[in-house]
A and B are shown apart, each in its own frame.
Chain A
């Protein structure tokens, strides 16, 4: 019974932990602008996330190696340095987006300008990193994040034309009045929002924090193959609610508030409050988790102690990196760059950076000396290789598209 509870909790945490400011913004924008014609990108991103997460989790459980441990061992000093430093820059950008997103939600709820919230949010995220035990953090924030299910329920309340949604989903075509490069740009942003580097670093390092071993493989697989796809479903719901409400009115999503309005149409003030609460939890949890991921990456690269299991002085340099990350990210938001722009740039560059961590993990997942009988099977390898090719293509076209479309304008 206790075991079953643990499994359910794990899956629910994975659902709640999947969605962050990247999903909220990109799903809202694309649903309002393109209907469900980009739903395939969420599906692709989620499948890739589940496959990647499963491999990284297996390497963490069997070979006891989280992502950046593997990166340093396999890529050598120089390549892994380049890899780790771009990952850190990207993570800081992600933390900035999450802190900014949390502050924007607080502005919506209170009317107090978001810039005033930034230092408070940053301090709160740091406190979670500093003192909150790992499992409590993961469970509390993950479970509260399930409040986002209000978007799924709203879909049934709204005048949703299910046949049209389904038709757009399975016949993806660029809407006539829209430019093709922008449509592809948002496809990449959706993939990037589902397949975030920090989430994989967090997932595999979390596995080490919770001392996963071979006997935990089943639980880990349930989390990746049930939890992540359900998280992907939440992203699709965020996209779909925009279709019956915002799209007919020609509303484009430029602000977090617009993404929550469909729930108000369905359920009024209470629904709106739940929607904002779910945004708040999702972005705040992601702020803490992406901060931790930066610390994990740097500490694993240099072989320092890391993790929340021991008090901060026992992992001093890890905590120092986390603190520096929060400060740098808060500083970035305080320059008054629009957090929504930071979010889009960070998810798109995140999509481009995926091969950096994905490839070494794919290689180690094939090494019998580390994984013994738990190496990748034919199915995982076929899927893994196809996804690798997709991600490399995405990485190559990302920057040209970013510049060509001026970040999707």
Chain B
């Protein structure tokens, strides 16, 4: 009973409201780390696929999972209310990077699904740029 109750408590307790600028910054840092992880996962899986070192269903599963992760990270980022003007500025700068990353993940998943080689390569380039931006932000926010 206790483990069950705990599990429920853990699963229902989602990200609470952000209170001050410091914790908003912290949350932004986590967004960049988690999103960079999703982007890198998709990149790695796709590069393996392009060099014939993977299995097609695995690649497509790993990429869709990364896309899902990316959109839920983006969603919790945008749903957080910036507490002050600085945070608001941080949000608008970071939002472009976050959107670029999630869009590229979606584009990659679609191109893979269609077997569109050129689309895959283009999405990979976008992912690489998005990841570089995210890593840059990580260093700034740390």
Contacts and interface: CB of A to CB of B under 8 A. Distances in A.
Interface in B36-88: 36-37, 40-41, 43-45, 48, 52-55, 57-58, 60-62, 65, 69
Contacts of A399: 6
A331 interface: no
Nearest to A245: B44
Contact of A337 (B11, B33, B142): B11
Interface in A318-358: 337, 341-342, 345-346, 349
A76 interface: no
The contact size tier of chain B is: 20 to 34
B55 A272 contact: yes
Contacts, number: 100
A345 B55 contact: no
Contacts of A397: none
Given A261-B62, A264-B48, A349-B3, A251 B41 contact: yes
B2 interface: yes
Which of the listed residues A260, A269, A349, A403 has the most CB atoms from chain B within 10 Å of its own CB? A269
Contact of A89 (B3, B9, B34, B36): B3
Nearest to B69: A254
Interface stretch (A42-50, A102-110, A126-134): A102-110
Contacts of A119: none
B37 A252 contact: yes
Given A89-B3, A251-B44, A257-B58, A264 B10 contact: no
A276 B58 contact: yes
B2 A261 contact: no
Contact of A90 (B3, B33, B45, B69): B3
A252 B34 contact: yes
Nearest to A407: B10
A269 B40 contact: no
Contact of A250 (B1, B45, B135): B135
A345 B10 contact: yes
Contacts of A403: 6, 9-10
A399 B142 CA distance: 29
A108 B57 contact: yes
A90 B52 CA distance: 42
Interface string A190-208: 0000000000000000000
Contacts of A269: 52-55
A86 B57 CA distance: 39
A407 B6 CA distance: 10
B7 interface: yes
A250 B53 contact: no
A83 interface: no
A177 B61 contact: no
Interface in A259-273: 260-261, 264-265, 268-269, 272-273
B115 interface: no
A24 interface: no
Given A89-B3, A341-B7, A349-B3, 18 more contacts: A89-B1, A110-B57, A177-B142, A250-B36, A250-B40, A251-B44, A254-B37, A257-B65, A261-B62, A264-B54, A268-B48, A268-B52, A268-B54, A269-B55, A272-B54, A276-B58, A345-B6, A345-B7
